[in-house]
Amino acid sequence: MAGILVYALHDDEGNFNKNSLGAVSEAARLAGELGTEAGVVVVGDVSDDAAAGLGAYGAKKVHRAKDVPEGLAQPIVDVMAKVMQDEGYDYALFGGGLLGFEVGAGLTARLNAGVTMEVTAVKVSDGKLVAERPVLQDSAIVDVGYVGEPGIIIGRLNAFDMDEGGDGSAEVADVDVELSDWSTKATMVERGEARGEDVNIEDADILVGGGRGLGKAESFELAEQLAEALGGAVAATRAVVDAGWYPYAAQIGQTGKTVAPKLYLAAGISGAIQHKVGMQSSENILAINKDPNAPIFEFADLGVVGDLHKILPKLTEAVKAKKGG
């Protein structure tokens, strides 16, 4: 059966992450246009109900490799490669994120396939998938097609929207995979997820990003109070993480995480390119900075010039008042 295969990552409680569910939804949409089906690979301890539940996002079949550990790229490449070949999938689509990039790159090498990375949209043209990829610092978008099969598409983190418009439960099939020798060299010692407060910043719809303009570690309380009022989470620049003002897990940018929330509120952040690359896909960027020439204003949707120490508390009060609390 031809089709599009997705890898869905889950946490230790069996919850699939938003990025993966977006990729499943996108594969289902594209498969519908191509007249094929979307399949999903899951590994490790995933219950029948959780696996079948991927049908709600449009998956038709879930290939489950129970004995393969979640979180290590090479064993997942083994599973994906076997399923791609045995079932004849034409494309593999990943939602991005560190593991998606690593598994996608490994699968490309293993299958001698063509790959497009940092994809922001995918369309169907003449019965084939064409990936759209921003280039030249996102000033232009190129269409990338595939001359052979299979084609591997690796999205930017959260590039694809979740859609629970699927028509029911997916068929679940267990797969036995013999892992390659090199795939078993690394073992999972411990799996954990770095979370800011209780929210994973990569999944948060609203982020309040704090930079050096906060002045000191204690001022992060201002960002935390606003994030709490908005129902979001706190992110940070590398400058403040390096200064020990906030945990590394919250760092956004080239050497941190990539996020794409509905709202990114940047407080006291200059907008350096290394920070920008991690948050530029946010739907709305609001910047508060006392310097009207700060680079962040060049790509913010809304800019407020002023002292964040005065603005953040007032904004928090206003949000609370609006929400009636």
Give me the residues that bind ligand FAD (CB under 6 A), please.
Answer: 211-213, 237-240, 251-256, 268-270, 272, 274-275, 278, 288-291, 294, 307-309
**In the complex, what is the shortest distance from the CB of residue 295 to ligand FAD, in angstroms, rounded to a whole number?**
8
For ligand FAD, give the closer residue by CB, 95 or 256: 256
For ligand FAD, give the closer residue by CB, 166 or 209: 209
Residue pair 60/34 in contact (Cβ under 8 Å)? The answer is no
Q: Strand 128-135's sheet: what is its strand order? A: 121-125, 128-135, 140-144
**In the complex, what is the shortest distance from the CB of residue 324 to ligand FAD, in angstroms, rounded to a whole number?**
29
Q: In the complex, which residue's CB is closest to ligand FAD?
A: 253
Rounded to an integer, what is the distance from CA 79 to the centroid of its chain?
A: 21
**Cα distance between residue 261 and residue 231, in whole Å:** 12
Q: Taking the CB of residue 189, how many other CB atoms lie within 10 A of it? A: 5
For ligand FAD, give the closer residue by CB, 20 or 237: 237
For ligand FAD, give the closer residue by CB, 116 or 270: 270
**In the complex, what is the shortest distance from the CB of residue 299 to ligand FAD, in angstroms, rounded to a whole number?**
13
For ligand FAD, give the closer residue by CB, 75 or 211: 211
**In the complex, what is the shortest distance from the CB of residue 302 to ligand FAD, in angstroms, rounded to a whole number?**
15
Strands (E), the chain: 3-7, 37-43, 61-65, 91-94, 114-119, 121-125, 128-135, 140-144, 151-155, 171-174, 206-210, 233-236, 263-267, 284-289, 302-305
Q: Strand 206-210's sheet: what is its strand order? A: 233-236, 206-210, 263-267, 284-289, 302-305
The residue whose two tokens read 């991005």 is 96
For ligand FAD, give the closer residue by CB, 127 or 292: 292
